[in-house]
Structure 1
Amino acid sequence: MKNILILSLSRHDDVNTSATFELAREFSGSNRVLIVEHPYTWTELLRGLTGKKGWIRLIATLSSRPLIRFKGRVHVLVPPAVSPTNFLSFGKWYGRLSRRNHRAVAKCVNSWLLKEKWKHYYYINSYNYHFPDLNKYMAGQCLKHVYHCVDPIVKPYTVKHGIRNQERAVENADLVISTAPQLQHKWNSVKPSFTVLNGVNHHHFNSPRKCVPAVRSLGKKLIGYFGAIERRINYEMLIATFKTNPDWTLVMAGPVQDEYVPAEIREMPNVHFIGKYTYDELPSLIYSVDVAMIPFKIEEAAGCIYPLKLYEYMSTGKPVVSTLFNSDLLIPIADKVHIAKSADKLNVAIENALNEKDNKKQLRRKSFAAMNTWEHRAKIFLNYLNK
């Protein structure tokens, strides 16, 4: 039985799941697992005091003992609030505040390590490039240090310090495990580098669900997108497609990053933004539409994306339409997914998906998803820890 300490960018009370928490859940079947979630900044804390999440972080900040939450068998440590740093340019003051933040989080972690008598552990920094040097402040013996790279860093806010910090995190690690081959290739010349693809909780999505009446009533031919509504989506393509086909209805479900969403698509009568959903609600939402879609831009950064939603969609058996945002991922499964190789081909892909009558294709999607579970991914990940 291993002690596995994971520094996560995601948090235990996020609305949706993440690769970090899904892997940790699988690790915990035969190991002791602690996730150190990403701390709030003081700015986030003050903004969040109107809700439960903010008060949990306030308690963590004021408490003299580590605040622990549980996700199944996984212990989750909620660190105290730290100083915001991203507004600063790289230099003296950024370095000072960053080191102070590292010490604050490490103090909390070390208190827990001492209490639980963890003298040695495996350390995984799961894409938390904000704390590239945390390992240097932690007590005990780190048996192996992994940097888990799950996405390209492309947004201006994260690019500012993220690329440099991520390179430092990789430098500190013994090996890098990425969620896509193109991410892995980036680190091949720097550290031992491997790929462990994202997976799915197949049972969660494959179990029969009732449709959501409020969604089902939005139209006769429903095409749904489920996930963050942000930079990666090709909005121009969606506007053109759903203007051309007014009898189709687009359902956009998930948190909206307003700065990326054109006003034109919001005003279209056959496009509906239905807001956030929980992980438990997601399967029923997918079952409520006729076609599930991934309308990502075809761009260089998209080749590094391996979205959780692909296997989630496939687990339900629903017809899936996707742009060819990642050819390494999608071409091998072209017999299971309707692929739009260019924006002008999206009409054809959706039409084919709506008219799909082949039950064998549905079964192929479900069977393929069942072979790509988080349980399987966790075993591969642990094999790399053992090397």
Structure 2
Amino acid sequence: MEPFDSIVCVGQTTWEGDFQKAVVQLMCEFSVRHRVLYVDYQHTYKDLLMGVAGQRGVPVRTMMRLSSQLVKKPGKKGSEVYVWHPPTMLPINWLSPERHDRLITWNVNRLVKSLRSVLRQLGMKRPLIINGMNPVFGLPMLHQLNEAGTIYYCFDEISIARWMNRHGGRYEDEYLRRVNAVVTTSETLLQTKALRQPNAFCVKNGVNFELFYQARQLAENRPPQKPVVGYLGTADNRINVDIVEHCVREMSDVTFQFIGEIKEPTLTERLSRYPNVVFTPPHQPTDLPPLLARLSAAMIPFVCNEHTYTIYPLKINEYLAAGLPVVSTPFSILDDFAGVVEMASSPEVFVQALRRALADQSPERIAQRVDMARNNSWEQRSHEFEAIFRQLILQHS
């Protein structure tokens, strides 16, 4: 990889949203020391039609070019990130491999043509491309932007992820072989991706420490009045509903609060009848600290399977930054949290662990949890990532 004058991130997620996104947090940190352009989610004509009909929350005005496609967003420490919304794409993910592969070229050419114009406008002549879990676009985009190099940022197992597994796995295999390096967010992902790309590194998910530490400060001023165990984020098929329901039933004196979108119907079907379960809709990240300040403990009751085994969850450090005791199932390699996060693999053991967590409120233990999260901040993770940049450039020189 050669020296670069800017960073261009091709994302698979929108910049905006109701939850913290690893790639967005990293770009904000990078913008302190680099010029950064984020290529936003590639919306399709289907998205546009559904948006016009009011059936989907998409940036209709931007997609119809009634508002600027290139905007500035705040980064960190007064920095800014350029966020560019690409042209509207053909909806092809549902197609067979043969038809999809013919039409992806049209989509990519449309994106690259406009992106080159944006790069000229911004004076980004030799960018480093960071591909955020989007090999379907990444593979045909290789060597089209005068890039100094390309790093694949992999934060999920693409062959299992519902939103990318139809075509993503086919593209990822070849993409891994042709990029300069891959950076994963978990040790388990590192093990699998290193089989195809020798320049493989792990930079685990971090936390927006300043934001989530606000919850600890609020709780110190107004401690929770009753025991509340919380779950933050999307509740989907990763949740072990059997464990959660057993805890809810056996701990009727404790409120269980789910903060975020519920995508697993079984969860609401089985838990809605319990008076000690509360479902709170998604909130913007900046609105989360007051909610977390009311919690007494937090949980990550994931099922243990091949998908969750690849995960390093964002929420674990968010909980710790708030000073909360955490109980989790042993769904992945989480050795970093030994002695701080308690693991429980069965419903009965999970109940016992939650009882201990609710009592684990000493100032020393709270400080231990907060310090661990502080050391796992996104600022720290960005420095780990930049060390990889330097290593790759040295390999080339």
Considering the TM-score relative to the shorter chain, is it more than 0.5? yes
Q: Look up the match of 2:151.
A: 146
Greater mean alpha carbon deviation, residues 199-208 or residues 43-52: 43-52
Alignment partner of 1:138: what SS?
A: coil
User: How far apart, in 2, do the equivalents of 1:156 and 1:370 lie?
Assistant: 32
**Mapped contact 1:57–1:79 kept (Cα < 8 A):** no
Give the 3 Å change call, closer, same or farther, for CA 288–51 of structure 1 in structure 2: farther
User: How far apart, in 1, do the equivalents of 2:360 and 2:43 lie?
Assistant: 46
Counterpart selection for 1:105 from 83, 106, 111: 111
Tell me which amino acid in the other structure corresponds to 1:143: A
Greater mean alpha carbon deviation, residues 164-173 or residues 39-48: 164-173
Give the 3 Å change call, closer, same or farther, for CA 385–61 of structure 1 in structure 2: farther
1:230 aligns with 2:236: yes
Report the Cα offset of residue 82 of structure 1. 0.9
User: How far apart, in 2, do the equivalents of 1:138 and 1:314 lie?
Assistant: 42
**Mapped contact 1:147–1:176 kept (Cα < 8 A):** yes
Counterpart selection for 1:239 from 242, 245, 256: 245
Counterpart selection for 2:350 from 346, 350, 375: 346
User: How far apart, in 1, do the equivalents of 2:34 and 2:269 lie?
Assistant: 49
**Mapped contact 2:62–2:68 kept (Cα < 8 A):** no
Greater mean alpha carbon deviation, residues 347-356 or residues 41-50: 41-50
User: How far apart, in 1, do the equivalents of 2:81 and 2:314 lie?
Assistant: 21
Tell me which amino acid in the other structure corresponds to 2:49: L
1:32 aligns with 2:35: yes
1:277 aligns with 2:277: no
Q: Look up the match of 1:67.
A: 70
Tell me which amino acid in the other structure corresponds to 1:319: P
**Mapped contact 2:48–2:63 kept (Cα < 8 A):** no
Q: Look up the match of 1:167.
A: 173
The superposition leaves residues 263-317 of structure 1 with CA deviations (integer Å, 9 ceiling, x where unpaired) of 1123322212111111001122111111111111122322211111111110111
User: How far apart, in 2, do the equivalents of 1:54 and 1:320 lie?
Assistant: 33
Q: Look up the match of 1:379.
A: 383
Number of residue pairs matched by the alignment: 377
**Mapped contact 1:196–1:381 kept (Cα < 8 A):** yes
Tell me which amino acid in the other structure corresponds to 1:18: K
Greater mean alpha carbon deviation, residues 261-270 or residues 56-65: 56-65
User: How far apart, in 2, do the equivalents of 1:57 and 1:109 lie?
Assistant: 20
1:199 aligns with 2:203: no
Report the Cα offset of residue 181 of structure 1. 0.8
Report the Cα offset of residue 366 of structure 1. 0.7
Counterpart selection for 1:363 from 357, 367, 380: 367
Counterpart selection for 2:312 from 281, 290, 306: 306
Report the Cα offset of residue 51 of structure 1. 6.4
Report the Cα offset of residue 262 of structure 1. 5.4
Tell me which amino acid in the other structure corresponds to 2:8: L
Tell me which amino acid in the other structure corresponds to 1:107: K
Alignment partner of 1:159: what SS?
A: coil
Report the Cα offset of residue 358 of structure 1. 2.7
**Mapped contact 2:233–2:260 kept (Cα < 8 A):** yes
Report the Cα offset of residue 324 of structure 1. 1.3
**Mapped contact 1:338–1:352 kept (Cα < 8 A):** no
User: How far apart, in 2, do the equivalents of 1:84 and 1:266 lie?
Assistant: 36
Give the 3 Å change call, closer, same or farther, for CA 294–367 of structure 1 in structure 2: same
Report the Cα offset of residue 65 of structure 1. 7.5
Alignment partner of 1:158: what SS?
A: coil
Alignment partner of 1:224: what SS?
A: strand
Give the 3 Å change call, closer, same or farther, for CA 279–55 of structure 1 in structure 2: closer
Alignment partner of 2:328: what SS?
A: strand
The superposition leaves residues 91-149 of structure 1 with CA deviations (integer Å, 9 ceiling, x where unpaired) of 1x21122111111221221110121232211110011234132523733x211110000
Report the Cα offset of residue 338 of structure 1. 2.4
Alignment partner of 2:106: what SS?
A: helix
1:85 aligns with 2:89: no
Q: Look up the match of 1:135.
A: 141
Alignment partner of 1:300: what SS?
A: coil
User: How far apart, in 2, do the equivalents of 1:145 and 1:63 lie?
Assistant: 32
Report the Cα offset of residue 321 of structure 1. 1.4
The superposition leaves residues 39-74 of structure 1 with CA deviations (integer Å, 9 ceiling, x where unpaired) of 111112222236699563443444698433423311
Report the Cα offset of residue 38 of structure 1. 1.4
Tell me which amino acid in the other structure corresponds to 2:260: G
TM-score under structure 2 length normalisation: 0.88
Give the 3 Å change call, closer, same or farther, for CA 55–305 of structure 1 in structure 2: closer
Runs (5+) with no aligned partner, structure 1:
none
Alignment partner of 1:377: what SS?
A: helix
Report the Cα offset of residue 360 of structure 1. 1.2
User: How far apart, in 2, do the equivalents of 1:184 and 1:170 lie?
Assistant: 12
Percent of counterpart pairs with the same letter? 28
Runs (5+) with no aligned partner, structure 2:
392-397
1:6 aligns with 2:9: yes
1:21 aligns with 2:27: no
**Mapped contact 1:69–1:78 kept (Cα < 8 A):** no
**Mapped contact 1:66–1:111 kept (Cα < 8 A):** no
1:122 aligns with 2:128: yes
Tell me which amino acid in the other structure corresponds to 1:75: Y
Greater mean alpha carbon deviation, residues 295-304 or residues 346-355: 295-304
**Mapped contact 2:209–2:321 kept (Cα < 8 A):** yes
Greater mean alpha carbon deviation, residues 333-342 or residues 100-109: 333-342
Give the 3 Å change call, closer, same or farther, for CA 171–257 of structure 1 in structure 2: same
**Mapped contact 1:317–1:365 kept (Cα < 8 A):** yes
Q: Look up the match of 1:296.
A: 302
